[in-house]
Amino acid sequence: MQTVHSIDELRATVAAWRRAGQRIGFVPTMGNLHAGHLSLMTQCGGLADKVVSSVFVNPLQFAPGEDYDSYPRTLDADSALLAETGVQLLFAPTAGDIYPQREQGEPTRIHVPALESELCGVSRPTFFSGVATVVNLLFNLVQPDIAVFGEKDYQQLLVLQRMVADLHMPVQVVGGPIVREPDGLAMSSRNGYLSEAERQQAPALHQSLQQAAAAIRGGNHDYAAIEAQARQRLQDAGLRPDYVSVRRAADLQIPAAGEPQLRLLAAAWLGKARLIDNIAI
């Protein structure tokens, strides 16, 4: 695996592959990699000739007071894992490389109004615009044919699919399934913020989603009651629910009773961590 830090090196390497007719796959990350990230690399390897990954903790998607400074930065370990997983190129830029003009004023931003203010966008109003902005920028640098994002961040996946559709960007954005710990907790870099006791409580998030999903699959269409029950279960387990919401899978709009293709999404705080999870119905 080759590791590059500069934009020029990245562009030169990918351009040579493209000239040779190779299909470029891309998996952006913020590092501190776990099996969830690596499953996306493997998936991408099956869809492209070359897999490019990036490790970049994007300041634009953190609000003041969030964990930008303390976010785990583990580039050496990440690089070893990516090499083992068969990634061909790791791009690891600094914030100065990506936003060289930031001192002179805020960078150009992408907004996805149809999706950015819902669900996670309520408590993190600048988050999805920060993500869309950096992914658009990284797409411009890598120019991939295909990019893979985890369904763990389901709303993010839809935001990015909407962005490429709206802007007619020549890249296919595909989702990869959620990878979980044996007790059901979705893997996340932020799980490392949990104390041992909190780690024992954390699977309640997935459990409450499973219970709610079972109720819906069993024919209960009273989504408001199901959501309230799930929030109560989270509270009883010691989590602080942000939201639990039944949505249409395709566009995250509020579904009519009995609509097919739903997605149940939730977020909750536990200690210093904000955990998210979702499940297809």
44, 159, 179, 213: residue in contact with ligand AMP (rule CB under 6 A): 179
| Cβ atoms < 10 Å from Cβ of 248 | 15
CB of 152 to ligand AMP, least distance (A): 4
Taking the least distance from each CB to ligand AMP, the nearer of 31 and 255 is 31
Candidates 182-190, 208-216, 221-229, 261-269; binding stretch for ligand AMP (CB under 6 A): 182-190
> Bridge-partner residues for 241, per DSSP?
268
The residue number with the shortest CB distance to ligand AMP is: 150
The verdict on 186 binding ligand AMP (CB under 6 A) reads yes
What is the distance in angstroms between the CA of the first residue and the CA of the last residue of the chain? 39
Asked if 51 and 86 touch (Cβ cutoff 8 Å), the reply is yes
The verdict on 187 binding ligand AMP (CB under 6 A) reads yes
Q: Containing H/E element for 158?
A: helix 154-166
Residues 22-41 binding ligand AMP (CB under 6 A) are 29-30, 36-37, 39-40
The verdict on 132 binding ligand AMP (CB under 6 A) reads no
Q: How far is it, in rounded angstroms, from Cα 111 to Cα 234?
A: 32
Asked if 210 and 279 touch (Cβ cutoff 8 Å), the reply is yes
The verdict on 152 binding ligand AMP (CB under 6 A) reads yes
Q: What is the DSSP string of 232-278?
A: HHHHHTT-EEEEEEEEETTT-PPPPTT-SSEEEEEEEEETTEEEEEE
Q: How far is it, in rounded angstroms, from Cα 86 to Cα 1?
A: 8
Is 37 a residue of the active site? yes
The verdict on 164 binding ligand AMP (CB under 6 A) reads no
Taking the least distance from each CB to ligand AMP, the nearer of 13 and 189 is 189
Q: Which of 37, 168, 206, 221 is an active site residue? A: 37
Instruction: Please list the active-site residues.
Output: 37
For ligand AMP, the binding residues (CB under 6 A) are 29-30, 36-37, 39-40, 149-150, 152-153, 176, 178-179, 186-189
